[in-house]
Structure 1
Amino acid sequence: MQTTAELRAHLLAARLAGTVGTTREESLRSYRLFAARDPRLLIGLDPERAWGERELLALVADRCGVPAEPARTSGPEAIDPGRTLAALDAFARRLAVAAERGEPVLLGTGHPHRLLGFYAALADALSAAGCVVLALAQGRCVDITTRFGLRTHHLDYVRGVGLVRGPAAERSGGEPGAHTHSPLPVRTALAAAADAGGPFPGLLIGDHGWLCGAGQLGFEAVGPADVNDPAPFVGEAEGSVSLVVPLDDGVRSDDYLPLARYVLDRARLSQ
């Protein structure tokens, strides 16, 4: 079993926590856009109240441990590994409950190039424990606004993990899926469940629009978020998102696998 000390060392070495690749400039830009209620930063969340830029910085500093000084406007961000570990422990406890209850679970990612393997390991373990891993609305079209305009994507599931594929993937093949912050994929999946009369997920595990979109619709939602994505942390503070794990979401895909092993060990779901 991986120890907490070993995982902490990995978080720092891989720059998942500690000094991370996200910059303060990126974070402050995101906070400005979120405060202006730009849909690109709300990613499916409808905040209960107005959040100013300084409030968002204070919130992310509290949840993630980034420097709280408003005067600091440049340089790399830093995530407190202790906060990441505490959130992973809580994440493990929730997975253990899902396995004990045999809850249906829905997993989805807007970061398939980075996080697909992490979620797939969780899906495999939850399925082995008796949970139904849902694949709702597979193949359904999802029109997502991108920087290139409106593009039609298709909802797909790889090893039990929801993602979207764009037209280019159909031509060339082999891509793990498209990067998106949109909540439309999870809305499409949950609408299909409603049309069919269920089953509905007892737990959503995901990031970006999957996390915030499901939480906004009243589904219990847990997952990771980077410090330049304030929406999940606002959702957690307001109660629509159940749990957020602070970490850098842009490192190598293999570097997330020790986190999956750590969580599954503590949930007693290791295979």
Structure 2
Amino acid sequence: MLSTGALREHLLAAGLAGVVATTREASLRSYRLFAARDPRVLMGLDPEGSWGQSELIALMADRCGVSEDPRITSGLDAIDPELTLAALDAFAERLAEAARRRAPVLLGTGHPHRLLGFYGGLADALSAAGCEVLTPAKGRRVDITTRFGLRTHNLDYARGVAMVREPGARSSGCETGAHTHSPLPVRTVLAAAAERGGPLPELVIGDHGWVCGAGQLGFEVVGLADTDDPALFVGQAEGRVSVVVPLDDAVRSDYYRPLTRYVLNRACLSQ
């Protein structure tokens, strides 16, 4: 079993926490856009509070460990590994509870190239524990507005994890899904599940719009987020997101494997 100390060392060595690759400039830009209610960074969340840039910096300092000094405008961001570890423990508790109830679950990612393996390991373990891993709306078209204009995507699943792919991308379990912040994929999946009479997920696991979009609709959600993803942390502060794990969400995919083992061990779901 991976100890907390060993995982802390891994978080720092892999750049998942401590000094991360996300820049202060990128984070501050996201906070400014969020304060302006730009849908690209709201990710499907409809904030109840005003959330100006100063409030967001204070929130992210509290929940992630970034600098709370607004005068620091350049350099690399930092994530407090103790906050990451505490959130991973809370994340594991939610998985354990879902497994005890044999609850239907939905997993989805906007970072398939990096995080598919992490979520796929959770899907395998939850399925083995008796949870139904939901896969509705496979192949359904989703039109997403990007910085390059409107782009057509198709919903797909790999290892039980939902993602979107660009038309013509290889399928059959490969990791060629598209990066997206949009809540439209999870809305499409949930609508399809409702149309066919359920079941609906009792827990949604993921990142970006998969978390914010489902949380805004009232589903219990847990997820991962970087320092430039304030929407998930605002959702948590306002009670629509149960757990957010602060970490760099764009390191090498194999660096997340120890996190999978740690979470499954803490949730007593190791196979």
Q: TM-score, normalised by structure 2?
A: 0.98
CA offset at residue 152 of structure 1?
Answer: 1.1
Name the counterpart of 2:41.
41
CA offset at residue 149 of structure 1?
Answer: 1.3
Name the counterpart of 2:244.
244
Equivalent positions of 1:36-115 (< 5 A) are 36-115=36-115
Name the counterpart of 2:211.
211
CA offset at residue 196 of structure 1?
Answer: 1.4
| Superposed CA offset, 1:98-117 (max 9, x none) | 10100000000000000000
| Superposed CA offset, 1:156-201 (max 9, x none) | 0100000000124159x95520000000000000001111121000
| Superposed CA offset, 1:22-63 (max 9, x none) | 011001000000000000000000001211001000000000
Taking the aligned partners of 2:178 and 2:208, their CA distance within structure 1 comes to: 13
Equivalent positions of 1:4-43 (< 5 A) are 4-43=4-43
Gap regions ≥5 residues in structure 2:
none
Q: How many residues align?
A: 270
1:258 aligned partner, one-letter code: P
1:2 aligned partner, one-letter code: L
CA offset at residue 124 of structure 1?
Answer: 0.2
Question: Which range is displaced more, 258-267 or 189-198?
Answer: 189-198
Name the counterpart of 2:257.
257
Give SS of 2:133's match.
coil
Equivalent positions of 1:67-216 (< 5 A) are 67-169=67-169, 175-216=175-216
CA offset at residue 121 of structure 1?
Answer: 0.2
Gap regions ≥5 residues in structure 1:
none
Taking the aligned partners of 1:241 and 1:46, their CA distance within structure 2 comes to: 12
Taking the aligned partners of 2:53 and 2:91, their CA distance within structure 1 comes to: 28
Provide the alpha-carbon RMSD of the alignment. 1.2
Give SS of 1:167's match.
coil
Taking the aligned partners of 2:174 and 2:259, their CA distance within structure 1 comes to: 25
1:102 aligned partner, one-letter code: R
Taking the aligned partners of 2:30 and 2:146, their CA distance within structure 1 comes to: 17
Q: Percent identity?
A: 74
Q: Structure 1 residues 131 and 175 mapped into 2: Cα distance closer, same or farther (>3 Å)?
A: closer
CA offset at residue 147 of structure 1?
Answer: 2.0
CA offset at residue 71 of structure 1?
Answer: 0.7
The ranges of structure 1 where at least 4 consecutive aligned residues each deviate by more than 3 angstroms after the TM superposition are none
